[in-house]
């Protein structure tokens, strides 16, 4: 039976009791925003982290990020690559005791594939023609065409939700489920949700996999990076991801372990191409050339990042076009491209168009993260040095995503994508796709990414994505700043945490343990 908000004060006391018996086997993690407890509706990082431990998918990534069984025990693929048949795990129950069946999988994908449902995954699954349920423990996906990234995506953010919890009503309207009382099948279930403060989970005694080693997990809302470090040092958090500039604050703290891992991320500045200012590729190339990324990587990130080629990160190995040159700074070329686009410097050095209007815009960045705030300041100075009038606005992360990124209400935005461990970026950079928040549109890119997701031969597929990265150099969808390495600072009591980024590691939360001191 699930307990709800009446235990809020008790939960908060337990979450904050450093070294107490009640919390000695409870893992404490930080979030930067209040989560939406529904994997179909939640694209933000806070929601994704929590939903990883509440809502398993059909498959999960193993320690090499390869798809491995989870709610599905096995699968077969037809010779033409268009039919995937999954055998579901028997005896699985939802957190409220209702049996899990194939109908829940079918229902989940009905919601995912319906853009009106309010979700953010539908463009990942446009290749699906239909989902069939031959019996309660078999699910068959019939695709319109082969889709090379299908299994990888199933194990990424696609948790399964229970049909019976929504009673035929729109999933976005079930505020109780989505904010405080979700029902999953995962190793941990929600005990209490206190908006703006914490989310407390307990081990699920009926979990179908290995019995969780932790008694519970507390996710504490700590948006500010410096506050996270202070909480880690005080023993109020057990694991955080660090910005490189924060390393000196934890490097010599007794009882902490620091490690780095590569992750499929690209940090970028997105220029809103709904704005006439940013529509010309010449202008976006000029903005790109004006930036001294090496100074940002060396100075702000202390070397804990790689210089980029395009939006496919170096962590993806063979898919990364290593033969293409890394991004470089060339202010003279930047000014020449701007001249060709109709922007010239006046006597005072300011860039103006033929109507005398200044090259003016605002870059938005989330508040409380020193690396991103300092990167924004460096960008501002680089662009000002060639005559642009650039201002910075800091916004709470949740508001940045909800009010700026998703509705496309920004000039420029400094943010990042953590993508699946596959080169398919269809939903991010193809015209009119759900995650294409910058409104980028390039016919060649549309074609390459469409062909690439359907190509199953690895040699031909690699050539397609290398060609995509070459096109990005001439018409950049975003200004890729760098490929970061995830720096994890954790209590040395924490065991069973795989050598993965935190997002993928949380799919294995039942294996985590906390030793006694």
In angstroms, rounded to a whole number, what is the distance separating the alpha carbons of residues 243 and 257?
Answer: 15
Q: Which residue in 465, 438, 416, 122 sits closest to 263, CA to CA?
A: 416
Q: What is the DSSP string of 459-512?
A: HHHHHHHHHHHHHHHHS-SSEEEEEEEEEEEEETTEE---SS-HHHHGGGGGG-
**CA 405 from chain center: how many Å?**
14
For the cut 70, the answer to whether the pLDDT of residue 363 exceeds it is yes
For the cut 70, the answer to whether the pLDDT of residue 23 exceeds it is no
Q: Mark residue 269 as left, alpha or beta (left: phi above 0; alpha: psi -120 to 50; beta: remaining).
A: beta
> Where, residue-wise, is CATH 3.10.105.10 in the chain?
265-484
In angstroms, rounded to a whole number, what is the distance separating the alpha carbons of residues 47 and 49?
Answer: 6
What spatial distance separates the first Cα and last Cα of the chain, rounded to whole Å?
32
Q: How far is CA 303 from CA 148, 293, 295, 325, 484, in A?
A: 34, 11, 10, 19, 9
Secondary structure letter of residue 326 according to DSSP = P
pLDDT tens, residue by residue, 141-173: 999 999 999 999 999 899 999 999 998 899 999
Q: How confident is the model at residue 249 (pLDDT cuts 50, 70, 90)?
A: confident
Output the CATH code of domain 265-484: 3.10.105.10
Output the CATH code of domain 5-238+493-514: 3.40.190.10
3-state class of 72 per DSSP?
strand
Q: Which residue in 106, 109, 119, 105 sits closest to 43, CA to CA?
A: 119
> Where, residue-wise, is CATH 3.40.190.10 in the chain?
5-238+493-514
For the cut 80, the answer to whether the pLDDT of residue 19 exceeds it is no
- Looking at residue 317, its pLDDT comes to 87
Beta strands in 277-358 (DSSP E): 305-306, 344-345, 351-352
Q: Which residue in 313, 318, 279 sits closest to 425, CA to CA?
A: 313
Residue 93 CB-density burial (10 A; 0-12 exposed, 13-18 middle, 19+ buried) = middle
What would the mean pLDDT of 200-228 be, rounded to a whole number?
95
Phi first, then psi: give them for residue 503, nearest 5 degrees. Answer: -60, -45
Burial of 343-364, coded b for 16+ CB within 10 Å and e otherwise, reads beeeeeebbbeeeeeebebebb
Contact assessment for residue 507 and residue 59, using Cβ atoms and an 8 Å cutoff: no
What pTM does this model have? 0.77
Q: Which range, of 39-43, 51-55, 347-351, 461-465, averages the lowest pLDDT?
A: 39-43
The DSSP bridge pattern shows strands 67-69 and 265-271 to be unpaired
| Percent residues over pLDDT 70 in the chain | 95
For the cut 50, the answer to whether the pLDDT of residue 6 exceeds it is no
In angstroms, rounded to a whole number, what is the distance separating the alpha carbons of residues 337 and 288?
Answer: 11
């Amino acid at each position: 039976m699930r307990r709800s908000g009446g235990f809020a004060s008790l939960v908060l006391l337990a979450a904050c009791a450093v070294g107490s018996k009640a919390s000695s086997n409870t893992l404490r993690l930080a979030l930067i925003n209040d989560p939406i407890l529904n994997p179909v509706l939640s694209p933000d990082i806070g929601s994704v982290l929590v939903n990883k431990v509440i809502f398993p998918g059909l498959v999960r990534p193993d320690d090499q990020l390869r798809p491995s069984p989870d709610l599905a025990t096995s699968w077969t693929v037809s010779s033409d690559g268009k039919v995937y048949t999954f055998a579901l795990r028997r005896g699985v129950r939802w957190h409220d005791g209702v049996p899990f069946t194939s109908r829940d999988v079918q229902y989940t994908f009905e919601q995912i594939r319906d853009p009106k449902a309010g979700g953010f995954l539908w463009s990942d699954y446009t290749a699906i023609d239909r989902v069939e349920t031959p019996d309660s423990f078999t699910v068959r996906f019939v695709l319109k065409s082969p889709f090379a990234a299908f299994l990888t995506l199933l194990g990424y953010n696609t948790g399964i939700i229970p049909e019976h919890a929504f009673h035929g009503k729109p999933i976005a309207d079930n505020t109780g489920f989505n904010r405080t009382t979700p029902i999953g099948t995962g190793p941990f279930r929600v005990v209490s949700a206190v908006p703006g403060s914490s989310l407390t989970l307990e081990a699920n005694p009926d979990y179908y996999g290995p019995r969780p080693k932790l008694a519970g997990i507390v996710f504490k809302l700590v948006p500010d990076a410096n506050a996270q470090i202070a909480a880690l040092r005080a023993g109020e958090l057990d694991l955080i991801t660090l910005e490189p500039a924060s390393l000196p604050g934890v490097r010599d703290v007794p009882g902490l372990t620091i490690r780095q891992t590569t992750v499929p991320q690209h940090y970028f500045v997105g220029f809103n191409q709904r704005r006439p200012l940013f529509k010309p590729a010449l202008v976006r190339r000029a903005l790109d050339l004006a930036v001294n990324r090496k100074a940002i990587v060396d100075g702000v990130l202390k070397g804990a990042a790689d210089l980029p080629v395009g939006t496919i990160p170096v962590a993806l190995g063979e898919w990364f076009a290593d033969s293409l040159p890394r991004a470089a700074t060339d202010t003279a070329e930047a000014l020449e491209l701007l001249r060709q686009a109709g922007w010239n410097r006046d006597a005072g050095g300011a860039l103006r168009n033929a109507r005398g209007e200044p090259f003016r815009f605002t870059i938005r960045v989330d508040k409380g993260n020193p690396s991103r705030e300092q990167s924004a300041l460096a960008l501002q100075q680089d662009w000002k040095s060639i005559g642009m009038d650039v201002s910075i606005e800091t916004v709470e992360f949740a508001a940045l995503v909800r009010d700026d990124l998703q509705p496309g209400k920004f000039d420029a935005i400094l943010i990042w994508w953590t993508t699946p461990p596959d080169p398919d970026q269809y939903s991010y950079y193809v015209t009119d796709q759900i995650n294409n928040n910058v409104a980028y549109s390039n016919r060649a890119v549309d074609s390459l990414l469409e062909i690439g997701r359907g190509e199953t031969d690895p040699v031909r597929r690699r050539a397609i994505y290398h060609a995509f990265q070459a096109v990005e150099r001439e018409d950049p969808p975003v200004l890729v700043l760098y490929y970061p390495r995830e720096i994890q600072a954790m209590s040395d009591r924490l065991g069973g945490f795989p050598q993965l980024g935190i997002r993928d590691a949380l799919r294995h939360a039942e294996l985590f343990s906390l030793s006694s001191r």
